[in-house]
Structure 1
Amino acid sequence: MGWPYEIFALDDAQKHARRQSLDRHAAYAQLSALIPIGLALMYQLGVFIFKRVSPYQPVSYSAVPSSPGLKHERQSAAGSWGITARRIAWWLGDDVVVLGFNLGQRDEIIFGSLWSIWLMFLCFVGTGNDYLHLTKRFGIVAISQLPLQYLLILKSLNPVAFAFGSSHEQLNRWHRVLGGIIYSMLLVHAGLYLNFYVHEGILSERIVRPIPALGLGSIIGMSLLSATALKLVRTYSYRVFFITHLMVALLLPPAIFFHSHHGGRQYVIEPLVFFFIDLITRKIGTITAPSTLELIPDTSLIKIVASLPSSKLDRFRKYAGMHVYLTIPFSSRRSSHLLFEFTFNPFTIASVDEKTGELTLVARRQRGPMTKALAQFAEDDSASTKVPLCIDGPYGCATWFPNLAGPEFDRILLVAGGVGSTFILPISRYIINENPAARVQMVWAVRGAADASWPLENGDDSLDDNIQLFLTRAIPRDPTLREAVELDNTSYPNVRQIHKRPDLRQIVDDFLRQGLEERVAVLVCGPEEMGRELRSYVGAWVNKGRNVWWHNEGFAW
């Protein structure tokens, strides 16, 4: 069976009909994504309004079913379906690794493939054997997805995040999936057009004209964006990826606007409107706070204490486990390096002092310009000197967490690695403060005792009793050095200290083999490998039927 598409001339009426078909199928592609999001958004708004206006408020306590009652529920038909649904949901959330290369989570691959098939159907249906119709269809269906693509990256005003009770960090993975689909379809669009120019012998003539040149430039820009998004490049220099991403995101819509002169321009105007509304909102909400910075001795940690206005304090203390984006304003920079214009680093809120109005962040010094600059501030300035820093936020999916201190869960396991404790520790303290009877176990792995000293410097006399502190730095064989390490640990008499790496499998098994009918929550924040390993061990129990609510907090991208 040969290639069915042909290149032939159309009269004006046929061209008009083709333009109508292009616009119609692009609208189908956009609405098929936005309508479900709109319905979910309306549902969330309805729930929000109902809770506000309803005279019936939920009581603070609801009866917790007994173990026999839960066992009976689990063995019922509904319980069996619930177990199956949890297994499927967990399976969809697992990573797919091929030859050591992580292809992403299984739900990204499955739903991304299904969405690609739907868009491909919209590209082919109704094109007949018109080669140029197919070529243009690939282009306009691809750009019809740009508004959704830009919605997925909004931080302050993100209707998709609100509709699905998520955060922009969690939506970012779908932004990457959709970006790959759009890029692939535009590559096909460009390839088909270049083939057309070669077939007609007009490549050298057309490629220098403004409209084809803008299209080719857009493809080159997206290819550069995709190349810098590779893990190897991001690991070497995340700033290169970020700046390239931002520049292409800003320049791509205008380029497509002038390239697509016959139709579809609304699809590139919409994302720019969304982007700038979000940017303006974030700019208005950003606080410039005088901050003190200090290096935590014997560690690579930097402690940042920002003084907030009392009128702004409430939004930062409302939820535990939120984060902010930190930037260095022009007045605070040691040099007018333009690199800081593109430096927005996320840091989890370690604590908020309601009495003093101080917000504490803890950062680890890395190779990037932000933490290098913060470390220089801490080294050069005295404790009394305050450096103005811009704080944008708070953000995070903790807004949508279930009530961890309520009756929804019987026991909670919290796992932190290094500065991941800035996320885990506030949640632990929130749960215990709200419900002292809550059964919470926290595992915190650090290199040495000094890395766990920052909570004590916040005015606390000791760490929480429920913490298992794992000191992963090897104990020296030299008796003198060993004694020095042991003396270094005497600051934490109430904490169970273990001088080895945590055995996550043993911790999970010990935690989940108790109370088989209990509902448990597991939260982790730490290195990517820690989260992946912990998830594999928890997943074995989910497959056995355990009811587990899981959350892995991370900023991998």
Structure 2
Amino acid sequence: MGFLGYAFVNLDEEGKIARRVQLDHHANVALWTPLVLLLLCRVVVVARRLSTGAFASEYGPAGRMSPLPRARLAREFEVGSSGAGGNWKQRMAKTMRLAQWWADDDVMSGGWGTRGEWINVSDYLHLTKRFGIIAASQLPFHYLLSLKPRFNPIQLLTGLSHEQLNPFHRLLGRLIIMLLLLHASFYLNFFVRASLLTKRTRDFDVIFGVLSLLLLITLGTTSLAYIRERSYSIFYTLHISGSLVLLATLSQHTAHLRAYVLTALGLHAAFTYLREAHALTLPATLTLLPHTRLIRVRLTLPPAHPARRWRPASHVYVHRPTAAAAGAADGSLGATAALTRFLRSNPFTVASLPDRDGELLLVARARCGATRALAEAAAAAGAAGDGAEALRAGEQDVVPEGVTPRREVALRVHGPYGAARWMAPKWWADFERVLLIAGGIGGTFTVPVWREIVECEAGCAGSTRRTKVRMVWAVKKPAEAGWVGWSDGEDGRQEIGGEGDDGQGGDRVELYLTGSGDRVTGDESMELEERQDLLEDDENIGRLSNDTALGAVIKTGRPRLRQIVDETFSGHGGKVAVLVCGPDDMVKSLRREVGRWVWQGADLFWHAEAFGL
């Protein structure tokens, strides 16, 4: 009896042991192969950078493939129907013979079997068990891909930050689910054909196996972008708790999985400990910004504090140290349970230059979970709780006129994370032009990058900066840009905007006011009355009625991305960096416009800032 060409083989005890040994070999190879390949790739990259002769002779002085090897390769595969290579049937037959010869060779010495045995087996249960053991062997690597600490070996080998590795984490998770679905389906088919379904579904190993599969499907479903974007805190809570429960159920499914389960659990525990050990507790000031749903968090950094070395535009995670500490200074804040429960799951961008400003500035839009808990905590300091009531009612202006609620708290900070921590100040000197695009709260990423390029390089002694940077920031109304320390701001920070604007998209900031409510428009221009309403609707930034006030060029309507991209790339042959942080539609539109120039051969660095788990 069999199925799809595979036989239901009844093995004796010795045969079962041999099958188990072979399955363990498959699993161990699958476990170590990704890490070994990453290590080899890293060695090759380092060797190529250090090499001055071998790579230069074969790939040309610039490290690119020279025409010589490509031409030689083309000649080797240039065969005709009657030439030395024979016709396509002869070449196919030759390929099949070579493949068969290759498959009959041993994988390696030591009884590992032949390559063909690894690829094709006739034992139905061997194939069924292989699906499961290979999936389980990927759990340690799967957990490594999700861990945030910067000393994660995969981050060190690839140079990618944790949110850049998250797509691979999700992809590997789907592959694991697919393999386990095959494992369960093949076993179910076996139980039915062998008349074992009633008996086996009552056994604990099968019950725990089914529970594990259901947990994985739940984790995979809740990690879909649709759910993550609507309730990040729920996704995070389910993902963390569910992944730990999954390890427990898998360990009870079969003893053969426990080595991989314990490895994954050990990695999770070790990196959680390291993450907590490197976290910082800092005094913070929570402030609701007038006429917005924005919450500003300012964490003061003493001189020589290690956080002063953190990169601008990286992101951090924050939470309350303990509930007791939260209630020690203010009982009302300690009663906000959501603040302790949700904060560690939400990322916040470092919108300041820590070393230059002496603080970590975090700004977020109050929506749900952590950001709502922060906003409610700050609003509790307002007049008779007016701010909190407006926030709960979902109103746009959560802070009453003339009231700026703020509260002093202690927050524990984890980080820094993100691709920005790889972007050293000297790195920007390699680019002729830098284009920064932001939408709404995405300015928390682009503003510190802009400041670092303009202020830090311009402030260096003997600086001869040639990089021209242009930032385009679209907000609904001026108040949403009020958290920035403009030229006459409260901290005396340097002016945001470029006196050195060359008129060709150089050092300058363009602030686009897109309108709010029924005033939103997709056109470049507006009626004069509407324009004046937008420019004067906030006392804090009412002086923006002058288009050059605060060093920023103020425009109304939505930015024309095609025109902005064309102005950046046209007439310039140097390297260009384009960085964007904003709504998905803006990112996709910008990528489409930039893609036109990439296909024309533009030398481009592209980065779309996105947060991950």
| TM-score using structure 2 length | 0.73
Q: Which residue of 1 aligns with 2:433?
A: 411
Q: Which residue of 1 aligns with 2:139?
A: 146
**How many angstroms does 1:318 deviate by?**
3.8
Percentage of pairs with the same residue: 36
Instruction: Report 1:164-243 matches (<5 A).
Output: 164-243=158-237
**How many angstroms does 1:539 deviate by?**
0.9
Instruction: Report 1:127-526 matches (<5 A).
Output: 128-156=121-149, 157-261=151-255, 263-310=256-303, 313-329=305-321, 330=323, 331-332=325-326, 333-335=333-335, 337=337, 340-343=340-343, 344-352=345-353, 354=355, 357-366=358-367, 368-381=368-381, 385-401=407-423, 406-436=428-458, 437=465, 438-456=467-485, 457=489, 459=491, 460=493, 462-465=495-498, 466-473=508-515, 474=519, 478=529, 481=533, 484-485=536-537, 487-490=542-545, 492-515=549-572, 517-526=573-582
Secondary structure of 1:544's partner?
coil
1:136-193 Cα shifts (integer Å, max 9, x gaps) = 0100011111111001011113111111111000000000000000000001101111
Q: Which structure has the bigger radius of gyration?
A: 2
Instruction: Report 1:1-12 matches (<5 A).
Output: 3-12=4-13
Secondary structure of 1:362's partner?
strand
Change (3 A) 1:236 1:435: closer
Could you tell me how far apart the structure 2 residues matched to 1:243 and 1:7 are?
A: 43
Q: Which residue of 1 aligns with 2:604?
A: 548
1:221-256 Cα shifts (integer Å, max 9, x gaps) = 111112222333334422332222112211222322
Contact 1:300 1:364 in 2 (8 A): yes
Change (3 A) 1:463 1:19: same
Secondary structure of 1:350's partner?
coil
Contact 1:324 1:346 in 2 (8 A): yes
1:91-124 Cα shifts (integer Å, max 9, x gaps) = xxxxxxxxxxxxxxxxxxxxxxxxxxxxxx9998
Counterpart residue type for residue 230 of structure 1: L
Could you tell me how far apart the structure 1 residues matched to 2:476 and 2:21 are?
A: 64
Could you tell me how far apart the structure 2 residues matched to 1:250 and 1:45 are?
A: 37
Contact 1:444 1:469 in 2 (8 A): yes
Could you tell me how far apart the structure 2 residues matched to 1:404 and 1:443 are?
A: 23
**How many angstroms does 1:348 deviate by?**
0.6
Contact 2:162 2:612 in 1 (8 A): no
Could you tell me how far apart the structure 2 residues matched to 1:335 and 1:242 are?
A: 22
Change (3 A) 1:2 1:361: closer
Change (3 A) 1:341 1:298: closer
Query: CA RMSD, aligned part only?
Result: 3.2
Counterpart residue type for residue 265 of structure 1: R
Q: Count matched residues.
A: 491
Could you tell me how far apart the structure 1 residues matched to 2:271 and 2:534 are?
A: 54
Contact 1:135 1:189 in 2 (8 A): yes
Contact 2:308 2:358 in 1 (8 A): no
Contact 1:405 1:435 in 2 (8 A): no
Could you tell me how far apart the structure 2 residues matched to 1:207 and 1:511 are?
A: 64
Secondary structure of 2:10's partner?
coil
Change (3 A) 1:225 1:458: farther
Counterpart residue type for residue 315 of structure 1: A
| TM-score using structure 1 length | 0.80
**How many angstroms does 1:340 deviate by?**
4.0
Change (3 A) 1:125 1:482: closer
Could you tell me how far apart the structure 1 residues matched to 2:153 and 2:608 are?
A: 22
Secondary structure of 1:326's partner?
strand
Counterpart residue type for residue 442 of structure 1: M
